[in-house]
């Protein structure tokens, strides 16, 4: 038996191809949206991988340092370093801000890392050019996505930094590229106020009789000094000894240091389950809407194509064509339309993905699931047309 669907498609190939391309662009958007979600999850995992930490020690009862603000004293790392099972501990600060680049600025996550201790947790894991930070101030390692090159000068707050190294795929959970600078500079950038604010604060402190007592010498200077001194970091990154489990190390820190400690699994849960949960739901909603729009388009096209063939279907039924042959013809056409659309969509998504500002990760599994979903949508969409075709009275061919 010849393929009626195949012959009809070959006969009206232009209609199928152009409809398939239109549908394909829609499927391409759907696949890209899915890739965007995968990219967000991947960015979160990359952030954790690049930190090189087994444990994140943060302010008690916070979800820091990525999902919530967290502030811990910067000398605490020493006592944590002495806890059982701790191999390395290092302060770190994270601050997403605009970084000045000549006459423009770019969005980046500025990471403060412990200067002079290459390989410590928090350091960029690998460089694609240049060297690691070796000085205590005014040097930076930037992700290549920032657009900085070796030797470029970038501005953070009041200070200027020379880019000495370049790294790749070091991003925040929201996809912003990272700029690594020495910890002291990062603390200043995060916590230090501008000169006018400091002057005003000194004036207010001086006017306060509680701090400015004539009989207590040095009190005012001490209070003023403490106000501008910054002794906080966002988190302490801990690398544990191989013979210890994360729980064994985390539990005493939580109990004795009154801090919250997250291991890798807990941090992934925070990043994926909480930080990008809203975005994921948003993307999920878009995927549902796009799936419904795709289904409506396929249903409409197949319905229209079937309507155009009512007389032929009546003739086919009159000369003895089985209902399942007619249903198969419509179903095959819907599936072919879906396959054309999927191929066009996959190609579109593959070529478009690198041009998106955020990381779009096209996972083969998503493509397989996408193809399956497209085929299911096509089958469901063809039901209306099939029902209509099966209701066609062969008598219509006679008149």
Partner 1 sequence: MNPKGIHIENLSKRFGEGDTAVLALKEVNMQVAPGEVVGLIGPSGSGKSTLLKCLGAVIDPTSGRMVLSDTVIYDNGWKVRDLRALRRDKIGFVFQAPYLIPFLNALDNVALPPMLAGIANDQARQRALELLTALDVQHRAEAMPSQLSGGEQQRVAIARGLINRPPVILADEPTAPLDSERAMAVIHILNNMARRFQTAVIVVTHDEKIIPTFKRIYHIRDGITHEERGEGHGFD
Which residues bind to partner 1, rule: CB under 8 A? Answer: 1-2, 4, 7-8, 10-12, 311-312, 315-322, 325, 393-395, 397-399
State in angstroms the smallest separation of the CB of 304 from partner 1: 16
State in angstroms the smallest separation of the CB of 313 from partner 1: 10
Report the residue number, 49 or 396, with the smaller CB distance to partner 1: 396
Report the residue number, 16 or 262, with the smaller CB distance to partner 1: 16
Report the residue number, 63 or 340, with the smaller CB distance to partner 1: 340
Q: Can you give the chain as a three-state secondary structure string?
A: CCCHHHHHHHHCHHHHHHHHHHHHHHHHHHHHHHHHHHHHHHHHHHHHHHHCCCEEEECCCCCCCCCCCCCEECCHHHHHHCCCCEEEEEEEEEEEEEEEECCEEEEEEEEEECCCCCCCCCCCCCCCEECCCCCCCCEEEEEHHHCCCCCCEEEECCEEEEEEEEECCCECCCCCEEEEEEHHHHHHHHHCCCHHHHHHHHHHHHHCCCCCCCCCCCHHHHHHHHHHCCCEECEEEEEECCCCCHHHHHHHHHHHHCCEEEEHHHHHHHHHHHHCHHHHHHHHHHHHHHHHHHHHHHHHHHHHHHHCCHHHHHHHHHCCCCHHHHHHHHHHHHHHHHHHHHHHHHHHHHHHHHHCCCCCCCCHHHHHHHHHHHHHHHHHHHHHHHHHHHHCCHHHHCC
State in angstroms the smallest separation of the CB of 11 from partner 1: 4
State in angstroms the smallest separation of the CB of 294 from partner 1: 26
Report the residue number, 12 or 335, with the smaller CB distance to partner 1: 12
State in angstroms the smallest separation of the CB of 14 from partner 1: 13
State in angstroms the smallest separation of the CB of 384 from partner 1: 22
Report the residue number, 10 or 369, with the smaller CB distance to partner 1: 10
State in angstroms the smallest separation of the CB of 324 from partner 1: 11
Give the count of alpha carbons within 13 A of 240, CB side only: 22
Report the residue number, 2 or 265, with the smaller CB distance to partner 1: 2
State in angstroms the smallest separation of the CB of 13 from partner 1: 10
φ, ψ for residue 195 (rounded to 5)?
Answer: -60, -40
Report the residue number, 158 or 324, with the smaller CB distance to partner 1: 324
Report the residue number, 8 or 176, with the smaller CB distance to partner 1: 8
């Amino acid at each position: 038996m010849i393929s009626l669907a195949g012959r009809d498609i070959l006969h009206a190939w232009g209609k199928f191809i152009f409809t398939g391309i239109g549908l394909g662009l829609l499927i391409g958007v759907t696949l890209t949206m899915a890739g965007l979600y995968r990219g967000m999850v991947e960015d979160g995992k990359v952030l954790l991988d690049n930190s090189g930490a087994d444990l994140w020690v943060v302010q008690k009862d916070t979800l820091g340092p990525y999902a919530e603000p967290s502030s811990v004293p910067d000398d605490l790392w020493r006592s944590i370093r002495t806890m059982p099972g701790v191999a390395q501990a290092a302060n770190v600060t994270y601050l997403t801000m605009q970084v000045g680049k000549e006459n423009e600025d770019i969005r980046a996550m500025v990471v403060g890392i412990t200067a002079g201790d290459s390989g410590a947790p928090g350091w960029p894991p690998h460089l694609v050019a240049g060297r690691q930070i070796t000085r205590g101030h005014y040097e930076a390692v930037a992700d290549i996505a920032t657009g900085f090159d070796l030797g470029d000068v970038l501005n953070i707050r009041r200070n200027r930094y020379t880019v000495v190294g370049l790294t790749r795929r070091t991003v925040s959970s929201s996809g912003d590229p990272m700029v690594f600078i020495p910890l002291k500079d990062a603390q200043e950038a995060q916590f230090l106020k501008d000169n006018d604010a400091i002057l005003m604060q000194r004036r207010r402190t001086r006017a306060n009789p509680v701090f400015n007592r004539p009989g207590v010498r040095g009190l005012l200077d001490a209070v003023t000094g403490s106000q501008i001194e910054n002794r906080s970091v966002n988190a302490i990154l801990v690398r544990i000894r191989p013979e210890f489990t994360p729980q064994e190390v985390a539990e005493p820190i939580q109990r004795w240091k009154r801090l919250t400690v997250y291991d890798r699994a807990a941090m992934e849960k925070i990043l994926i389950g909480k930080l990008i949960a809203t975005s994921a739901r948003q993307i999920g909603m878009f995927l549902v809407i796009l799936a419904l729009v795709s289904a409506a388009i396929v249903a409409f096209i197949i319905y229209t194509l079937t309507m155009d063939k009512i007389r032929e279907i009546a003739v086919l039924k009159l000369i003895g064509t089985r209902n399942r042959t007619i249903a198969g013809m419509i179903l095959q056409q819907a599936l072919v339309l879906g396959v054309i659309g999927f191929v066009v969509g996959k190609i579109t998504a593959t070529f478009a993905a690198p041009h998106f500002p955020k990381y779009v990760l096209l996972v083969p599994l998503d493509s397989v699931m996408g193809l399956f979903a497209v085929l299911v949508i096509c089958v469901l969409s063809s039901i209306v047309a099939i029902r209509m075709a099966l209701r066609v009275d062969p008598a219509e061919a006679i008149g």
